Structure 1
Amino acid sequence: MNVVKCFAALGLLLTLVACGSADRYAVTLPPVTETVRIAFRSVEVRDVSLPSYAAADEIHIRKNDGTLVSSTDTLWADAPERAVALEISESLSRLTGRAVASEPWPFDAYPDARLDLRFTELLATETGQFRATGQYFVAVSGGGRERSGLFDQSVSFDPKSGPAGIATARGQLIFQLAEFIATSGLK
């Protein structure tokens, strides 16, 4: 009788776990089609600052009335602040052919420059736009000219594509942002 109760309890537990699982969506970066020359041999991407909704695991969407909606059933595959920093690092590295890594810096020699990104918005809309706005800062080792600038980037996606389309759009948007920073802030 105890064995039957154990199997019944195990079956109930497995059912609850299966019902409570969420879908996770990974971001894929687009391929590099051309390279960008920058003024630095190495760049560290510091911790990325995201708004609280964008730093959450849930994928948020802005509705036409301005409200943000999300579901615990649709989550990013990785912690957004960590993921965006890695996506920017990988994009810059692939675009420039230079040593680019996110914080903490993995090499013995200090980087020539440090990139700090502060997002005011990183959000998909129900009308099919994924937008990133904010400011970047480039600190230069050895007393070089430090820089800063604003960014406002967006890409379109098909709203009917759901969370998978949003994840694809974020990959395109982050890559586009890396191109902008390479040409505007790292030259």
Structure 2
Amino acid sequence: MSRLALLCLTLALTGCADNAGRFVLDTPAPAARTAVAVSSIEVLDVALPAYAAAVEIARQDDGGAVRNLPDSLWADEPVRGITAALARSLDLATTATVAPEPWPLEEPAQARVAVHVEKMLARADGGFDFEGQFAVSAPLGGVRERIERFAIHLPAGAVDSAGIAAASGTAVARLAEAIARSLAR
């Protein structure tokens, strides 16, 4: 392949990536703050299925296949973005100080939250499913350690990239509220 042809191909591919819309995962503010039994919480990197960890925004089609939406990308790397959104939502939803790993303070966090997502998927009918489990550990004691399942299902509305981003943010905020309830005094 000539250098000119390679340059043209590279420019064409770069142009395609530049035309993709990038969507931010924003979480709605919680309705109220929950008093929790710990003063600090570290949120470990959220474990996502491969299709949800990809930078391309995906949706399940009518046949059940998970397909990337054309020209639609997450504005941030999904594991980092979802972890940060969950930490922010948990910080706003609780009386604790919350940060994603690595814990930035010298004194260790009183609790750690690990989330393993099994399904984070916009369905063909526009509904959104967010399922998995979260674990609360307390290296220094203070709260009962536990593993709990979560299943958050949102009604139809997530049919395009903006709708999927909004549904993702709502689902993460609801998970933060569920974690806050599990840590309530």
TM-based fold match above 0.5: yes
Q: 2:75 aligns with which of 52, 77, 83?
A: 77
Q: 1:129 aligns with which of 114, 123, 127?
A: 127
Shift of 1:72: 5.4
Computing the radius of gyration from Cα coordinates, the structure with the larger value is 1
Q: Distance in 2 between matches of 1:156 and 1:85?
A: 24
Amino acid at match of 1:152: A
Normalised to the residue count of structure 2, the TM-score between the two structures is 0.87
Give me the identity figure in percent. Answer: 37
Q: Give 1 or 2: higher helix fraction.
A: 1
What is the match of residue 18 of structure 1? 15
What is the match of residue 137 of structure 2? 139
Asked if structure 2 preserves the Cα contact closer than 8 Å seen for 1:123 and 1:131, the reply is yes
SS at match of 2:114: strand
Amino acid at match of 2:23: Y
Q: Distance in 2 between matches of 1:108 and 1:32?
A: 29
Point out where structure 1 has 5 or more consecutive residues left out of the alignment. 1-9
Shift of 1:16: 6.0
- Aligned CA RMSD, in angstroms, stands at 2.3
Residues 1:186 and 1:106: Cα distance change in structure 2 (over 3 Å): farther
Residues 1:186 and 1:53: Cα distance change in structure 2 (over 3 Å): farther
What is the match of residue 151 of structure 1? 150
Work out the number of aligned pairs and report it.
Answer: 179
69-78 or 53-62, larger mean C-alpha shift: 69-78
Shift of 1:41: 0.4
Asked if structure 2 preserves the Cα contact closer than 8 Å seen for 1:156 and 1:169, the reply is no
Q: Distance in 1 between matches of 2:47 and 2:11?
A: 38
* 4+ residue runs over 3 A deviation: 10-20
1:166 aligns with 2:182: no
Point out where structure 2 has 5 or more consecutive residues left out of the alignment. 1-6
What is the match of residue 63 of structure 1? 61
